[in-house]
């Protein structure tokens, strides 16, 4: 079961939301650190998009999805006007920074590396389609949600 966090706990985990990793259509993502030193990603969600019941159903569905090629949900927050998801942190960063690299300081992948990534991501997507016991619609498969 994922851990339920209070807003004040998320505030502490993220060091006052000081390390922003990105922002998307569903909210802002921050890097955090749990008391035992494990790094996490805290995705603060826009509450106007769903009700409390919808959010808790989403948490229950995501909690049942476990695959080596998919990030794990570690916890959530549903308090007042705050909805957040806490995921494991992937130290290599998001895949989009490698695939979409255009600047000199970005690391650009060669075709063999791209092929290897495609072969690694395929089992995770196949799991969602064929093996996952939860029937879900996965609109959020995009490069920065893939593990490398």
What was the pLDDT predicted at 63?
75
Could you tell me the CATH number of the domain that includes residue 49? 3.30.200.20
Name the phi and psi angles at 29, rounded to 5.
-115, 130
Q: Is pLDDT of 91 > 90? A: no
Token pair 């749990």 is found at 34
**Mean pLDDT, range 50-62, rounded to an integer:** 75
**Mean pLDDT, range 119-142, rounded to an integer:** 68
What was the pLDDT predicted at 141?
55
> Which residue among the candidates 19, 96, 130, 140 is catalytic per the annotation?
140
Of 12-16, 100-104, 137-141, give the lowest mean pLDDT range.
137-141
**Mean pLDDT, range 49-70, rounded to an integer:** 73
Q: Is 140 a catalytic residue?
A: yes
Q: Strand locations in 25-96, DSSP E?
A: 27-33, 39-45, 73-79, 82-88
Hey, what are 16's tokens?
């006052």
Domain range holding 139?
3-145
Token pair 């090629």 is found at 69
> Against a cut of 0.85, is the pTM above it?
no
Mean pLDDT taken over the chain: 78
Per the structure, the count of domains in the chain is 1
């Amino acid at each position: 079961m994922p851990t339920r966090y209070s807003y004040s706990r998320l505030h502490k985990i993220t060091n006052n939301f000081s390390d922003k990793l990105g922002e998307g259509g569903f909210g802002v993502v921050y890097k955090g650190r749990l008391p035992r030193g494990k790094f996490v990603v805290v995705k603060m969600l826009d509450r106007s998009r769903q009700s409390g019941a919808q959010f808790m159903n989403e948490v229950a569905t995501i909690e049942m999805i476990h695959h080596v090629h998919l990030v794990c949900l570690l916890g959530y927050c549903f308090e007042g006007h705050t909805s957040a998801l806490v995921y494991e942190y992937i130290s290599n960063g998001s895949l989009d920074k490698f695939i979409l690299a255009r600047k000199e300081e970005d690391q650009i992948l060669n075709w063999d590396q791209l092929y290897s990534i495609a072969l690694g991501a395929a089992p995770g997507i196949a799991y969602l389609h064929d093996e996952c016991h939860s029937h879900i619609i996965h609109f959020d498969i995009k490069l920065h949600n893939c593990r490398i």
